[in-house]
Amino acid sequence: MQDPVRPLFRLPQLLGAIDDLLAVETTRHAGNLGLYTGDRPQRVDHHRRRLWLALGLSEGAVAGAHQVHGDRVLHATSAGQSEGYDALITDRTGLFLSITVADCTPILICDPERRAVAAIHAGWRGTVARIVAKTLAEMSATFGTDPRDCLASVGTCIDECEFEVGSEVAEQFDPAFVRWDELRAKHFVDLKAANRAQLLDAGLPAPQIEVSPYCTVQHNTDYFSYRAEQGRTGRMLALIGWRKNRKA
């Protein structure tokens, strides 16, 4: 059972209300779950096994990828790690998609009609490359997904008030998601708003999108932050999939 004060994970409200759907976002209290952080493999494996146990899963039911801040989307049909993808989609019941983050934006999408799901890792490069829009396009082409049927969670990441960037990054974003701070003479980018906009543009109704109220920097006691911890930190994991024991 989770400690309510220091939870291993949190459940997105919209997605958590769907029967048989498992959608979670871990906190730093689950430990470092990143396979590519340089941490001791035995330590990461211990953290992962503890999480699978808490969720009632096995490692053989989870698909993930070595993320590269790109825009490639993997149609996952089996468990295990793949190389070079930042988004995964599937319609396989009992297969759970996972991505890891520590400031970048995790986005989980569910299509209850086609029983398809997606897990997306969107840093600033992925956001600029419109990885959310491309993932929904892949779901439509592969599963017949209609974005109007989908629900989505824009998860915990670095908030606009903390995401200071140079002009070379700011100029790649729509100005609607960039703020110039006169006092600090810096640009700030809103990753949550930029990715939410891609969901809206694709056709998801606004009431079917939730956005995490947490920030990896401001709530660093509960979340890893690559920026706040100067690169020496772990990774959280966001996961989504349909359980096999579907209710009648």
Q: Which two tokens stand for residue 188?
A: 């700030």
The residue assigned the tokens 């996972």 is 98
Asked if residue 2 belongs to a domain, the reply is: no
pTM for the full predicted model? 0.96
Tokens of 138: 């892949």
Strands (DSSP E) contained in 103-199 are 105-111, 116-122, 151-154, 164-165, 178-181, 186-189
Q: Is residue 99 within 8 Å of residue 120, measured between CB atoms? A: yes
CA nearest to 74, candidates 164, 27, 139: 139
CATH number for the domain spanning 174: value is: 3.60.140.10
Say how many domains are in the chain.
Answer: 1
Q: Decide if pLDDT at 187 tops 80.
A: yes
For the stretch 12-57, pLDDT in tens is 999 999 999 999 999 999 999 999 998 999 999 999 999 999 999 9
Q: Would you tell me how many other CB atoms lie within 10 Å of the CB of residue 124?
A: 21
Is residue 13 assigned to a domain?
yes
Whether residue 248 lies inside any domain: the answer is: no
Grouping H, G, I as helix, E, B as strand and the rest as coil, residue 87 is strand
Q: Which amino acid is at 62?
A: V
pLDDT band at residue 1 under the 50/70/90 scheme? low
Task: Report whether pLDDT(73) > 70.
Answer: yes
Asked whether residue 245 carries a pLDDT value surpassing 90, the answer given is no
* pLDDT of 246 strictly over 90: no
**Higher per-residue confidence, 244 vs 235:** 235
Nearest to 88, CA basis, from 114, 67, 119, 112: 119
pLDDT digit string, tens, across residues 143-171: 999 999 999 999 999 999 999 999 999 99
In terms of residue numbers, what domain contains 158?
Answer: 9-242
